[in-house]
Amino acid sequence: MQHRLAFLEKDTNRKRPNHQRYIKICSEIAAHSDDEEHPDGTYRVIKTLPYRSKNTSKFFRRLDIEMKKADQISGKTVKREPRRLPRDPLPSIFTRAPKELPIDFYDPQWFSQLNAGQKRLIPNAGQVAFLPDVSQSLLPTPHPDEKLSDSAFTAKYLKSRSEPYREALDDLEDDDDADDDEHDEELSNGPGVPLTAANMETSDESDCYSDGDFGSLYDSTDDEAAPAADDDIIKDS
């Protein structure tokens, strides 16, 4: 977590003044997966958070790749354990989602299962943080939209990036009688996922992608919103 924040803060000072939306997310401990050391001790196995969208998970992999590249370019010897994604997702034991992050941080299917109180209080439904295709994030030549302020970025992408959550949000608007206090304990946790992944002790290297690769594991249509149309482009003044 601290290494990621340090990298983003350095990059912000250097050429991307509006990385604050990334930094806000990475500042939350629960935004990071609780990766476990593989039994052979050569790498860490990345776990899957139930509440984190696939696009967000792609962003974290992009961030790790760029950190690794920066270490190589600098010529410094930095000891970082390789982190590898299992071909069959290994569920995290974390089910308590961080609150008030941009709505596209959260997994749409997970979000749809929340009760009305949780839907109101967990996400910031009026803000988005990630490019529709996060493979374009953190490149040596910044994507033009990474230079937008938070407000301009949200103005451009909120409608399209909120689409996977639209039905749940519309249902929420129809339910004005929800009792938030009644669900306070549930709000802290949200829906979990059964821990049914393969036993770590029996896994081997062939069960994981190489460091920095995630195959097609994060490919999905359920949380991939269409890019904004050309006439929706907003330039930050």
Please check whether residue 45 is in contact with residue 90, taking contact to mean a CB–CB distance below 8 angstroms: yes
CA–CA dist 40, 38 (Å, integer): 5
Residue 231 belongs to a domain? no
Residue 145 belongs to a domain? yes
Q: Where are the beta strands (DSSP E) in 22-159?
A: 36-37, 44-45, 83-84, 101-102, 123-124
Domain count, the chain: 1
The pTM of the full predicted model, rounded to 2 decimals, is 0.76
CA–CA dist 205, 220 (Å, integer): 25
CA–CA dist 158, 142 (Å, integer): 20
pLDDT of residue 183: 46
CA–CA dist 185, 79 (Å, integer): 40
Residue 88 belongs to a domain? yes
Domain of 115, in residue numbers: 2-225
pLDDT of residue 200: 35
10 CB neighbour count, 10 Å cutoff: 11
Residue 221 belongs to a domain? yes
pLDDT in tens, the chain (237 residues): 667 777 787 765 555 556 789 999 999 999 998 777 777 767 888 889 999 999 999 999 899 888 888 877 877 766 667 778 888 888 888 889 999 999 999 999 999 999 999 999 999 999 999 999 999 999 888 899 998 999 999 999 999 999 999 999 988 876 655 444 444 444 444 554 433 333 333 344 567 666 555 555 555 554 444 444 443 444 444
pLDDT of residue 35: 75
pLDDT of residue 110: 95
Residue 129 belongs to a domain? yes
| 82: Cβ contacts below 8 Å, ≥ 6 apart | 42, 43, 44, 211
Residue 232 belongs to a domain? no
Residue 236 belongs to a domain? no
Residue 159 belongs to a domain? yes
pLDDT of residue 123: 96
- Terminal-to-terminal C-alpha distance of the chain: 32
pLDDT of residue 45: 85
Sign of CA dihedral 165, 35, 24, 18: negative
pLDDT of residue 201: 38
